[in-house]
């Protein structure tokens, strides 16, 4: 369990950075749309971003480093922008570098993205705001804020350093202005080294192998929270706890909660059974991924997502209406599991104060 210890000491070491005053975003960002990503293929070569030690000194490098620190210790924003006990890197693993764990380098090159549904273009900062609102059960930092610039700078640096190395482009990653950083890399006016431009077009760059959580096949039997409980006891409970609440030592979580008041809320992508199944199959149990069968991954995903969690922030008092409007997918919001209360009718608060 050395990784747990080091994760914990890293968290402790990072606590204590100061936080500026609260800015309230005017409206909720878009709902977390399901990514459409390709299934995994066997012979894939993934982008390999440069190591942290290669980040240059100076103001630009400082932004990149700040983004990294916010990403791995998002708890420094607890009570301000974060309303649960998670860190971004709990799901986007290896500090956002791990292929098939929705890596930041692939994400950066996929925005701005056009959304047909609301005829709106989502920038990279919009997408990050979505994860603050739902995955982090918080209140997203405002457009253009220091935090969103830093997280974008870190993502950009991972993507660009990986691309430069892949196509043998020497030198430092070119610096970008804050306004440019926030947009993302999928645009005609995004500066790319000639060797990268010659190798891949903008649509290929937006679909780098390893993006998102690759879809796994549907299970043979309809997924079942009951069978999932057995999978949970055998493969997850040792780390995530008897009741899914993870493990905190001296108030710092080294093992993240999977449901309940300190986990992601009912609007988060991870509450969809398919998204969680894809994540779990590829990335859990921690440290030895791809141990479960498809069926086990779907069943345990159903199990953890049949438990209550913080309310969907779009809730306006009517669970059924919200379920119809936003939950037309594989999830349990608005349903009663095994005769329990309708999920969503007694959910935990959104963006609560830390006790
Ligand atoms: C060896 C300990 C360990 C085991 C066993 C384990 N996990 Fe995890 N899990 C972790 C750690 C650590 C993280 C955070 C990853 C990080 O920060 O890099 C995590 C993250 C997660 C997350 C995303 C964060 C969250 O809180 O929602 C989910 C979902 C998850 N695990 C589900 C499972 C499931 C389901 C199983 C069983 C099939 C399982 N885990 C087994 C240690 C473990
Ligand atoms: C509970 C797990 C979880 C946590 C914690 C989390 N995310 Fe996410 N994130 C997701 C899921 C799930 C998706 C979308 C995948 C899907 O819907 O298919 C996603 C998508 C993204 C994307 C877009 C990826 C792409 O390729 O389009 C970015 C960028 C992102 N998250 C950044 C963040 C940041 C920054 C944080 C912390 C402030 C964070 N996430 C915290 C689960 C999480």
Give residue 328 CA to ligand 1 midpoint distance, Å: 26
What pLDDT is recorded for position 12? Answer: 37
Residue nearest to atom 25 of ligand 1 (CA): 258
Q: What's 225-326's CATH class?
A: mainly alpha
Read off the pLDDT of each residue in 48-73 and give the average, rounded to a whole number.
Answer: 97
pLDDT per residue over 132-183, tens digit each? 999 999 999 999 999 999 999 999 999 999 999 999 999 999 999 999 999 9
What pLDDT is recorded for position 17? Answer: 33
> What SS3 class is residue 203?
helix
Give residue 287 CA to ligand 1 midpoint distance, Å: 9
The two domains 2-205 and 225-326 share their CATH topology (first three levels equal): yes
Atom of ligand 1 nearest to the CA of 287: 1
What pLDDT is recorded for position 2? Answer: 45
What pLDDT is recorded for position 83? Answer: 98
Report the residue among 258, 277, 299 best suited for mutation to probe ligand 1: largest number of ligand atoms under 8 A from its CB: 258
Superfamily name with CATH number, domain 2-205 = Cytochrome c-like domain (1.10.760.10)
Read off the pLDDT of each residue in 218-244 and give the average, rounded to a whole number.
Answer: 97
Q: What's 113's DSSP letter?
A: E
Residue reference for tokens 């999932």? 228
Indicate the domain borders of the chain: 2-205, 225-326
If pLDDT is split at 50, 70 and 90, which confidence band does 55 have? very high
pTM of the model: 0.92
Atom of ligand 1 nearest to the CA of 72: 17
Atom of ligand 1 nearest to the CA of 3: 12
**Sequence-distant (≥ 6) Cβ neighbours of residue 162 within 8 angstroms:** 47, 48, 49, 50, 105
Give residue 141 CA to ligand 2 midpoint distance, Å: 15
Atom of ligand 2 nearest to the CA of 211: 26
Quote the percentage of the chain above a pLDDT of 90: 83
The pLDDT mean for the chain works out to 90
Ligand nearest to the CA of 303: 1
What pLDDT is recorded for position 29? Answer: 53
CA 336 – CA 300 distance, rounded (Å): 18
pLDDT per residue over 144-154, tens digit each? 999 999 999 99
Listing DSSP states for 278-333 in one string gives HHHHHH-STTS-S-S-HHHHHHHHHHHTTS--BPPTT--S-HHHHHHHH--SSS-T
Whether 77 and 147 have beta carbons less than 8 Å apart is answered as: yes
CA–centroid distance for 247 within its chain: 20
Q: What's 255's DSSP letter?
A: E
| Terminal-to-terminal C-alpha distance of the chain | 28
What pLDDT is recorded for position 114? Answer: 85
């Amino acid at each position: 369990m050395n990784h747990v210890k080091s994760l914990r000491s890293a968290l402790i070491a990072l606590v204590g950075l100061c936080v500026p005053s609260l800015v309230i975003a005017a409206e909720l960002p878009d709902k977390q749309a399901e990514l459409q990503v390709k299934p995994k293929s066997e012979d894939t070569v993934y982008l390999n971003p440069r190591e942290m030690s290669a980040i240059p000194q100076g103001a630009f490098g400082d932004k990149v480093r700040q983004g990294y620190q916010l990403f791995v210790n998002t708890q420094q924003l607890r009570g301000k922008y974060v309303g649960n006990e998670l860190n971004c890197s709990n799901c986007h693993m290896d500090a956002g570098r791990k292929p098939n764990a929705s890596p930041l380098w692939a994400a950066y090159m996929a925005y701005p993205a056009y959304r047909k549904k609301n005829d709106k273009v989502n920038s990279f900062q919009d997408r990050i705001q979505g994860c603050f609102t739902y995955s982090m059960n918080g209140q997203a930092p405002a457009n253009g804020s220091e935090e969103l610039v830093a997280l974008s700078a870190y993502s950009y640096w991972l993507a660009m350093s990986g691309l430069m190395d892949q196509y043998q482009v020497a030198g430092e990653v070119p610096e970008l202005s804050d306004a440019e950083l926030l947009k993302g890399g999928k645009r005609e006016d995004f500066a790319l080294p000639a060797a990268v431009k010659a190798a891949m077009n903008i649509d290929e760059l937006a679909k780098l192998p390893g993006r998102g959580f690759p879809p796994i096949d549907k299970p043979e039997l309809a997924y079942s929270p009951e069978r999932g409980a057995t999978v949970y006891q055998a493969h997850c409970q040792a780390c995530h706890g008897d009741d899914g609440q993870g493990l905190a030592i001296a108030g710092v979580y080294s093992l993240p909660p999977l449901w309940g008041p300190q986990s992601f809320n009912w609007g988060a992508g991870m509450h969809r059974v398919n998204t969680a199944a894809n994540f779990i199959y590829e990335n859990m149990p921690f440290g030895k991924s791809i141990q479960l069968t498809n069926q086990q991954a779907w069943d345990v995903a159903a199990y953890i997502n049949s438990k209550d969690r913080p309310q969907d922030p779009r809730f306006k008092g009517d669970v059924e209406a919200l379920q119809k409007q936003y939950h037309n997918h594989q999830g349990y919001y608005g349903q009663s599991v095994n005769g329990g209360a309708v999920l969503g009718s007694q959910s935990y608060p959104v963006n609560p104060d830390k006790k």
